[in-house]
Amino acid sequence: MGNTQHYAECIEECLKCAQACNQCYDACLNEEDVAMMRDCIRTDRECADLCFFAAQAMSTNSAYAADICRICAEACEACGRECEKHAHAHCKRCAEACFRCAEACRRMVAQAV
Amino acid sequence: MGNTQHYAECIEECLKCAQACNQCYDACLNEEDVAMMRDCIRTDRECADLCFFAAQAMSTNSAYAADICRICAEACEACGRECEKHAHAHCKRCAEACFRCAEACRRMVAQAV
Amino acid sequence: MGNTQHYAECIEECLKCAQACNQCYDACLNEEDVAMMRDCIRTDRECADLCFFAAQAMSTNSAYAADICRICAEACEACGRECEKHAHAHCKRCAEACFRCAEACRRMVAQAV
Amino acid sequence: MGNTQHYAECIEECLKCAQACNQCYDACLNEEDVAMMRDCIRTDRECADLCFFAAQAMSTNSAYAADICRICAEACEACGRECEKHAHAHCKRCAEACFRCAEACRRMVAQAV
């Protein structure tokens, strides 16, 4: 059984990643080449939603926090891999935040076992 | 029309406040005097949910970001006033985060007009 | 002060609308003419998120339920007007759900005063 | 890979369960014996949040829908077992909705494999 202090680093990365994903989502929808960004738009929303949900689960000390972080790590990894294909600055920033968050989630899950 | 950079400070306070509220919620449910904490539990959840929702609206550059922050400011104010009635350390920390966030939301709304 | 029974019809419409918006969002991202759908994608997510948030506020009997439904009505109206511009079946279905939900939210707000 | 039509029954049960949990949460916070209801309050919020999140994942056709439903089934089961300990009508209604939703989630997961 973890406690919320224990989760501090992972919460921090989830919240940064959610913001980067949402900013990338907004920027992608404004890009001229929006057709090329369709997968990025989708993974951005999916990842942002999971990151906020994981942060909420950790900060309420939910019994499902580790299970949610396990899914969040996958979503971050997938979003990061999609974002790094694109040259836009918002995609590069987002990919970086995603990979950092994926790692923080995996560390959190490993400690929770 | 704002942009997400413009919102940075308000997003930051919303995310800190959401965490403080969720930690206070979790701690209140574990207190011996839980009957005294029932209003605090309710306002904690309400405020945390609004803070995350406001942060999401700002980071996606939603057309409703200012409207949501206006409600968020009220919820923060109400939660802060409830929390400051109690001597528990988690309530004191939460009240402080709530009042700071209420102010940040009001500033954001004033700039958005 | 309402109670959750009082909100039943509005909750129902919000949940139907959230689903229609999310299905339209998913389908728009798969359309060949995704560039034409960019505003629709944006309003779909915005409206779905607000509808779920409004349903949550009503079902928890939140003090901010009416305030949130007021914003939700605007988001539904805007999403409906965007969706009705497009010939896709998912857009037509979504527009219909949006206009019904906007009306239900306005009725809820009128009763809450 | 499912599609959103395929998910219709599970979405329906998740949304009913989320409402029952939120109404039980609200009612528990108003009970005289709130100290006895503390676990119920906690599982109600946890389960409601997961049910809405699962419904959102299914209606956007998320790649993580089945993973989220697997956690949702556990949260529903746990909330149902807590709620059925109590004689309050809102707890009995909530337990019933939880067990139905747990089953719907398990069926959804089995079909998604």
pLDDT interval class at B19 (50, 70, 90): very high
Domain ranges of chain C: 8-112
pLDDT interval class at A100 (50, 70, 90): very high
Condensed to tens digits (0 to 9), the pLDDT of residues D62-109 reads: 999 999 999 999 999 999 999 999 999 999 999 999 999 999 999 999
Look at residue B90 and tell me whether its pLDDT is greater than 50: yes
A56: tokens are: 């909420």
Look at residue C2 and tell me whether its pLDDT is greater than 80: no
For residue D78, how many other CB atoms are within 10 A of its CB? 19
CA distance A87 to A40: 12
| Contact flag A71-D67 (C-beta cutoff 8 Å) | yes
Of D69, D45, B49, nearest in space to A68 by CA: D69
| D105, D73 Cβ separation under 8 angstroms | yes
CA C51 to chain centre: 5
| Contact flag C45-A45 (C-beta cutoff 8 Å) | yes
- For Cα atoms D43, A102, B25, give the angle at the middle one, nearest 5 degrees: 25
Closest chain C C-alpha to B39 CA, distance in angstroms: 12
Confidence at residue C20, expressed as pLDDT on a 0 to 100 scale: 98
Average pLDDT, chain D: 95
- Chain B residues inside the 8 Å CB shell of D42: 29
The amino acid at D56: Q
CA distance A44 to A50: 10
Look at residue A2 and tell me whether its pLDDT is greater than 50: no
Query: In percent, how much of chain B has pLDDT > 90?
Result: 93
- Chain D residues inside the 8 Å CB shell of C18: 55-56, 59
Categorise residue C66: left if φ over 0, alpha if ψ from -120 to 50, beta otherwise. alpha
Q: Which residues of D touch A (CB under 8 A)?
A: 45-46, 49-50, 53, 56, 60, 62-64, 67-68, 71, 74-75, 78
Look at residue C112 and tell me whether its pLDDT is greater than 90: no
The amino acid at B15: L
Confidence at residue B3, expressed as pLDDT on a 0 to 100 scale: 53
Contacts of C100 (CB under 8 A, 6+ apart): C13, C16, C17
Confidence at residue A112, expressed as pLDDT on a 0 to 100 scale: 87
Task: List C-alpha distances in Å: C9 to B4, B9, C101.
Answer: 35, 38, 10
Task: List C-alpha distances in Å: A29 to A53, A97, C12, C82.
Answer: 23, 19, 30, 15
B23: tokens are: 């930690």
Confidence at residue A48, expressed as pLDDT on a 0 to 100 scale: 98
C94: tokens are: 């979504």
- The pLDDT of D36-45, averaged and rounded, is 98
D28: tokens are: 């528990």
Condensed to tens digits (0 to 9), the pLDDT of residues C24-65 reads: 999 999 999 999 999 999 999 999 999 999 999 999 999 999
**Beta strand residue intervals within chain D, DSSP E:** none
| Contact flag B46-C63 (C-beta cutoff 8 Å) | yes
Confidence at residue B1, expressed as pLDDT on a 0 to 100 scale: 39
Give φ, ψ of A85 to 5 degrees: -75, -20
Burial class (CB in 10 A: 0-12, 13-18, 19+), A107: middle
Look at residue C83 and tell me whether its pLDDT is greater than 60: yes
Looking at domain C8-112, which CATH architecture does it have? Up-down Bundle (1.20)
Confidence at residue B5, expressed as pLDDT on a 0 to 100 scale: 58
Look at residue B70 and tell me whether its pLDDT is greater than 50: yes
